[in-house]
Amino acid sequence: MYICICNAVTECQIRACSEGGACTLADLEHCLGVGAGCGRCKAVAHELLAENRAQSTVLFSDGAT
């Protein structure tokens, strides 16, 4: 699904960027251009980034024990 229409950024691209180390909206903007246009995608992109980072933390924690 497209998250940022202005720059044709998808949910999958945001998840991949997060898994690659992106931690902030600024990271997503730098890597993918998220929020650089109209900005309407920022809230959804931020939520998706936080969700993906939380899942990654849980998976990492489960694997470490």
**Per-residue pLDDT tens digits for 13-46:** 999 999 999 999 999 999 999 999 999 999 999 9
Quote the number of domains for the chain.
1
What is the C-alpha to C-alpha distance for residues 3 and 44, in angstroms, rounded to an integer? 7
Please name every residue paired with 4 in a beta bridge, in sequence order, or none if there are none: 9
pLDDT of residue 38: 96
Range of the domain at 14: 2-64
The amino acid present at 39, given as its one-letter code, is G
pLDDT tens profile 7-19: 999 999 999 999 9
The domain spanning residue 27 has which CATH number?
Answer: 1.10.10.1100
Residues 53 and 23: beta-carbon distance below 8 Å: yes
